[in-house]
Copies of this chain bind each other. A is one copy, B any other.
Amino acid sequence: MVSWIVSAGFCRVSSVLRRFSSVLGPRRVVSAGAARFCSGCQERLCGPPLAGDVDRFGGVTVRDFPPDISEDEFTELLRVSLRRWRSDGRVAVWLCVPIALSRLSAAAARLGFGFHHARRDEAVLSLWLGPGEDRLPAFATHQIGVAGAVVDESNGKVLVVQDRNKTKNAWKFPGGLSDLGENIGETAVREVFEETGVRSQFCSLLSIRQQHNHPGAFGMSDMYLICRLSPLSFHIDFCTQECLRCEWLDLTELARTGETTPITSRVAKLLLYGLEHGFQSIDLTMEQMPAVYSGLFYQLYHRRLPETP
């Protein structure tokens, strides 16, 4: 029975469906025709007013919306659709809402939806319909920052900078945030070049730091990785917008000075040990491995063992 949607003497959903029949398309109108909704008892034979794709986990994703629908009208369409999705045993609903139709997000929020994430021109909202607590996978939680320690093995010097925008001027390795889709080593090489003008190549991963509530991470967490790089050029032409100073500094001096950060000091000591005993004592080396499902390759970083080719 759907008599609860009949209000003030007319069926609101059927009038909405009639108004948007050209947009919703014949399949949807046929499967959710006004007459069937008004007759009520045939509800199980109808599809939901909003069409969506069902995924292998039992979730529904809706991507198409009538462009001229009002907030109130959309709430009604969604309410009836939710009723049907629940009775069909769907565990979740995803709405991919173009930014120009953002009023539909407000309408969905009235029925319990919240933002899952948003990127540039689209917001994705979700609602868990299954039993128990929400088991939907969360969106990305970490930004990835990568620094490059460029070591000149010929003289034991390393390339360091002081940030222009920090209150405490401390020597650190040049670095910055990974762009989406960029590999760790690519970020290190790019950031070193952008900040210092020095060209370099990736050698190994040295250390990993995780930090929560990282300043400037919009409430999310930060994973900071320091790579060892070898120089391909030596002339410094540093970015004056980002850096106050930039130098090739003795590793012994960097490991000793108080004018640095604790993590830089620790990595300087690691690098000094590597210079003396061989970098294999401190490196995590990179290995290309095949991904099981995609068939692509990914990069795995770990200790290289004597018997590993």
Contact = CB atoms under 8 A, between A and B. Distances in A.
Interface of A: 56, 71, 99-106, 109, 114-124, 137-144, 165, 168, 170, 177-181, 183-184, 205-213, 215-221, 223, 261-263, 266-267, 269-270, 273, 281-284, 287, 289-294, 298-303, 305, 307-308
Given A71-B103, A106-B101, A181-B221, A300 B139 contact: no
A56 B220 CA distance: 20
Given A138-B179, A144-B221, A183-B210, 19 more contacts: A56-B165, A99-B115, A102-B104, A102-B105, A102-B123, A114-B120, A118-B123, A138-B177, A139-B143, A140-B142, A140-B218, A140-B220, A181-B221, A207-B284, A208-B302, A209-B301, A213-B294, A261-B292, A266-B287
B282 A303 contact: yes
B281 A303 contact: yes
Contacts of A210: 183-184, 298-299
A293 B179 CA distance: 24
Total identical chains: 2
A109 B100 contact: yes
Contacts of A168: 292
Contacts of A183: 210, 212
A212 B181 contact: yes
B143 A144 contact: no
Contacts of A102: 102-106, 109, 123
A103 B100 contact: no
Nearest to A206: B302
B284 A284 contact: yes
18 contacts: A99-B109, A102-B109, A105-B105, A109-B121, A115-B120, A117-B218, A123-B123, A138-B143, A139-B220, A140-B143, A141-B143, A142-B144, A180-B220, A208-B302, A211-B298, A266-B302, A270-B302, A284-B303
Contacts of A104: 102
Contacts of A56: 165
Nearest to A216: B137
A120 to B, nearest CB: 4
A142 to B, nearest CB: 5
Contact of A301 (B184, B207, B220): B207
Nearest to A215: B293
B208 A300 contact: yes
Most buried by B among A124, A137, A208: A208
A103 B71 CA distance: 9
Most buried by B among A119, A124, A287: A119
B209 A300 contact: yes
Nearest to A219: B119
Given A102-B103, A118-B123, A299 B219 contact: no
B103 A291 contact: no
Most buried by B among A56, A118, A218, A307: A118
Contact of A217 (B140, B212, B266): B140
